[in-house]
């Protein structure tokens, strides 16, 4: 093993050897700012801007005709984007569609796949889940007159950061009808073993889905091969689709015949939607799980941003992402030890997603001091400084510089002038 080199020169060497470094030039980066919050909101690329403006242009030019005319007819946009997203989740093109929001898609797929029967009346999640997942699952139970405090089981964490796969499997008892788990935990960045968990669920006759909001665009997936039943994700984080961009969902083709829990006319077979019949002619694809008219303007930027993933290839993106997070963790170990930080993200590459959690009791104030110095992190209560170096646009030198700035803040206690509280969004 070579010794870790914390020098600025080493960071520059890593950038010189970065084969996808050129993609950074496609993004709108702010001079003097180091953006490490791409796992909350990815940055705008010139290509995403271009496709958004092109769709506006089609509206200008075609009016209602834009649904079927032009280079990118809106009527087929959700399916087209599903095809473009499929390689990122390891699915066939017709198993994926761009639609809704993560929360709406959880409602859609939980209402489709949760079929309590006899003794099997529970939904299994984790106690470290993103809140909206829990709210949605809880209300799905309530709608069926099942009390969430009894029927929403949550896998416990042993350390408050991670979920052990063994514990998850032990919780797959014979009263569980449906499982929804995160692929990557939003706070610690732990990546779960999706293949193993899916296999274990199926051995116990339980359907299993994943919320891939924090892994899509940063970690490759093989949902079809692993037999995952369904998945959801949002497109404004690592996919760089813009604030409120249309989300995505995956449904394994073995479930194409299942009637959607929340049906709507955009789930119809394309050729029959405008028959305007009252009988629902469901599409024989993941498209069946769309509900109403798509938000065309929030789909449009994805046409451009997904192109960049096609070009780079998800494997190359993951490789650089792992190097970036690994580099950040090593720098934190070498430069910030003895300053009260604890790295909450698993060290093993196969157990970590695309961001790093630095825990510190002064985390909220440290984030304020970082922002004051041009580093954009985010704070996750109670004690996490979350940093996401993003493969498509973050350089190694920026990671190096961010750690240097952080070290300076800690050495001079520059955070003390801020209050240790959080703002509205972080
Ligand atoms: C970001 C995120 C969401 C957000 O859901 P929206 O419907 O887009 O507000 C949900 N779940 C997880 C795990 C997330 O990381």
Pocket lining: 212 vs ligand 1, CB cutoff 6 Å? no
Pocket lining: 103 vs ligand 1, CB cutoff 6 Å? yes
Same domain, 85 and 180: yes
Last residue of a domain, one of 293, 311, 329: 311
* Full 3-state SS string of the chain: CCCCCCCHHHHHHHHHCCCCHHHHHHECCCCCCEECECCCCCCCEHHHHHHHHHHHHHHHHHHHHHHCCCCCCHHHHHHHHHHHHHHHHCCCHHHEEECCCHHHHHHHHHHHHCCCECCECEEEEECCCCHHHHHHHHHHHHHCCCCHHHHEEEECCCCCCCCCHHHHHHCCCCCEEEEEEECECCCCCEECCHHHHHHHHHHCCCEEEEECCCCCCCCCCCHHHHCCCEEEECCCCCCCCCCCCCCEEEECHHHCCCCCCCCCHHHECHHHHCCCCCCCCECCCHHHHCCCCCCHHHHHHHHHHHHHHHHHCHHHHHHHHHHHHHHHHHHHHHHCCCCCCEECCCCCHHHECCCEEEECCCHHHHHHHHHHCCEECEEECCCEEEEECCCCCCCHHHHHHHHHHHHHHHHCCHHHHCCCCCCCCC
- What atom in ligand 1 is closest to the CA of residue 186? 15
Is the residue at 159 inside a domain?
yes
Is the residue at 40 inside a domain?
no
Give residue 3's pLDDT band: very low, low, confident or very high (50, 70, 90). confident
Q: Which residues are catalytic?
A: 130, 211, 236-237, 386
* Rounded Cα–Cα distance for residues 365 and 205 (Å): 47
Q: Are strands 375-376 and 122-126 parallel, antiparallel or unpaired?
A: unpaired
- What atom in ligand 1 is closest to the CA of residue 237? 1
- What atom in ligand 1 is closest to the CA of residue 101? 7
Give residue 338's pLDDT band: very low, low, confident or very high (50, 70, 90). confident
CATH of the domain at 364: 3.90.1150.10
Per-residue pLDDT, 262: 98
Q: What average pLDDT is seen over the chain?
A: 96
CB–CB of 140/111 below 8 Å? yes
The model's pLDDT over 111-124, given as tens digits with 9 standing for 90+, comes to 999 999 999 999 99
- Ligand 1 center to 85 CA (angstroms): 18
Pocket lining: 365 vs ligand 1, CB cutoff 6 Å? no
Same domain, 106 and 218: yes
CB–CB of 128/187 below 8 Å? yes
Q: Which domain holds residue 353?
A: 8-31+313-417
Is the residue at 203 inside a domain?
yes
- Ligand 1 center to 296 CA (angstroms): 20
Percent of all residues in the chain with a pLDDT value above 90, rounded to a whole number? 96
Is the residue at 91 inside a domain?
yes
Is the residue at 38 inside a domain?
no
Q: What is the dihedral of CA 240, 241, 242, 244, to 10 degrees?
A: -130
Is the residue at 424 inside a domain?
no
Last residue of a domain, one of 311, 330, 353: 311
The closest residue, in CA terms, to atom 11 on ligand 1 is 130
pLDDT of 37 over the 90 cut: yes
* Rounded Cα–Cα distance for residues 55 and 296 (Å): 8
Same domain, 160 and 182: yes
Per-residue pLDDT, 337: 84
Is the residue at 44 inside a domain?
no
Same domain, 174 and 229: yes
Nearest to 396 by CA among 39, 22, 14: 14
The closest residue, in CA terms, to atom 8 on ligand 1 is 102
| pTM for this prediction | 0.97
- What atom in ligand 1 is closest to the CA of residue 102? 7
Give residue 160's pLDDT band: very low, low, confident or very high (50, 70, 90). very high
- What atom in ligand 1 is closest to the CA of residue 105? 7
- What atom in ligand 1 is closest to the CA of residue 104? 7
Pocket lining: 213 vs ligand 1, CB cutoff 6 Å? yes
For residue 196, count other CB atoms closer than 10 A to its CB.
14
Percent of all residues in the chain with a pLDDT value above 70, rounded to a whole number? 98
The model's pLDDT over 54-70, given as tens digits with 9 standing for 90+, comes to 999 999 999 999 999 99
Same domain, 286 and 379: no
Give residue 257's pLDDT band: very low, low, confident or very high (50, 70, 90). confident
- Ligand 1 center to 232 CA (angstroms): 9
Pocket lining: 214 vs ligand 1, CB cutoff 6 Å? yes
Token pair, residue 181, equals 């788990």
CB–CB of 194/221 below 8 Å? yes
The model's pLDDT over 377-402, given as tens digits with 9 standing for 90+, comes to 999 999 999 999 999 999 999 999 99
Pocket lining: 35 vs ligand 1, CB cutoff 6 Å? no
β-strand partners of 117: 120
Same domain, 54 and 26: no
Per-residue pLDDT, 9: 97
Per-residue pLDDT, 131: 98
Same domain, 87 and 116: yes
Same domain, 232 and 192: yes
Same domain, 119 and 57: yes
Q: Which residues of 223-233 are buried (b: 16+ CB within 10 A; e: fewer)?
A: bbebebbbbbb
* Rounded Cα–Cα distance for residues 106 and 121 (Å): 18
From the number of C-beta atoms within 10 Å of its C-beta (0-12, 13-18, 19+), residue 147 rates as exposed
The closest residue, in CA terms, to atom 14 on ligand 1 is 213
Same domain, 288 and 343: no
Pocket lining: 379 vs ligand 1, CB cutoff 6 Å? no
Q: Are strands 34-35 and 375-376 parallel, antiparallel or unpaired?
A: parallel
- Ligand 1 center to 295 CA (angstroms): 18
- Ligand 1 center to 344 CA (angstroms): 21
Is the residue at 422 inside a domain?
no
Number of domains in the chain: 2
Cα end-to-end span (Å), the chain: 39
Nearest to 372 by CA among 333, 408, 343, 332: 408
- What atom in ligand 1 is closest to the CA of residue 244? 8
CB–CB of 23/392 below 8 Å? yes
- Ligand 1 center to 106 CA (angstroms): 10
Pocket lining: 186 vs ligand 1, CB cutoff 6 Å? yes
Pocket lining: 354 vs ligand 1, CB cutoff 6 Å? no
CATH of the domain at 100: 3.40.640.10
Same domain, 270 and 354: no
Mean pLDDT, residues 310-328 taken together: 97
- Ligand 1 center to 62 CA (angstroms): 34
Pocket lining: 234 vs ligand 1, CB cutoff 6 Å? yes
Pocket lining: 327 vs ligand 1, CB cutoff 6 Å? no
- Ligand 1 center to 212 CA (angstroms): 9
Same domain, 267 and 358: no
Peptide bond into 142 cis (omega under 30): no
The model's pLDDT over 349-371, given as tens digits with 9 standing for 90+, comes to 999 999 999 999 999 999 999 99
Pocket lining: 157 vs ligand 1, CB cutoff 6 Å? no
Last residue of a domain, one of 273, 292, 311: 311
From the number of C-beta atoms within 10 Å of its C-beta (0-12, 13-18, 19+), residue 299 rates as buried
The closest residue, in CA terms, to atom 6 on ligand 1 is 102
């Amino acid at each position: 093993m070579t010794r870790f080199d914390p020098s600025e020169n080493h960071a520059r060497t890593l950038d010189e050897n970065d084969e996808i470094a050129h993609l950074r030039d496609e993004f709108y980066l702010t001079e003097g700012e180091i953006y490490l919050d791409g796992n909350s909101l990815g940055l705008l690329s010139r290509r995403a801007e271009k496709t958004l403006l092109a769709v506006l242009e089609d509206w200008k030019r075609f009016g209602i005709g834009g649904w079927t005319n032009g280079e990118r007819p809106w009527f087929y946009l959700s399916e087209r984007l599903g095809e473009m997203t499929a390689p990122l989740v390891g699915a066939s093109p017709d198993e994926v569609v761009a639609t809704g929001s993560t929360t709406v898609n959880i409602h859609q797929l939980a209402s489709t796949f949760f079929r309590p029967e006899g003794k099997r009346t529970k939904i299994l999640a984790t106690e470290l889940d993103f809140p909206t997942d829990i709210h949605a699952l809880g209300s799905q139970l309530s709608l069926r007159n099942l009390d969430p405090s009894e029927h929403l089981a949550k896998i416990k964490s042993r350390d408050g950061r991670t979920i052990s796969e063994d514990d998850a499997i032990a919780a797959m008892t014979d009263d569980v009808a449906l499982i929804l788990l995160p692929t990557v935990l939003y706070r610690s960045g732990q990546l779960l073993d999706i293949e193993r968990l899916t296999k274990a669920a199926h051995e116990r006759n339980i359907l299993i889905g994943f919320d891939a909001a924090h892994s899509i665009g940063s970690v490759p997936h093989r949902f079809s091969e692993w037999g995952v039943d369904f998945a959801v994700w949002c497109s404004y984080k690592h996919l760089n689709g813009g604030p409120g961009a249309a989300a995505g969902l995956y449904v394994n083709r073995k479930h194409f015949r299942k009637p959607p829990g929340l049906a709507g006319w955009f789930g119809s077979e394309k050729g029959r939607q405008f028959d305007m019949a009252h009988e629902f002619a469901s599409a024989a694809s993941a498209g069946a799980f769309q509900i109403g008219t798509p938000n065309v303007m929030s789909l449009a930027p994805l046409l451009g941003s997904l192109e960049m993933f096609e070009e780079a290839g998800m494997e190359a993106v993951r490789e650089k992402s792992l190097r970036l997070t690994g580099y950040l963790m090593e720098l934190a170990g070498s430069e910030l030890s003895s300053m009260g930080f604890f790295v909450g993200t698993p060290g093993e590459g196969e157990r970590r997603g695309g961001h790093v959690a630095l825990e510190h009791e002064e985390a909220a104030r440290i984030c304020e001091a970082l922002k004051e110095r041009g580093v954009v992190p985010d704070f996750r209560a109670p004690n996490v400084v979350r940093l996401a170096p993003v493969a498509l646009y973050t350089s190694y030198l920026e990671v190096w510089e961010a750690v240097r700035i952080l070290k300076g803040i800690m050495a001079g206690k520059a955070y003390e002038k801020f209050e240790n509280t959080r703002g509205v969004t972080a």
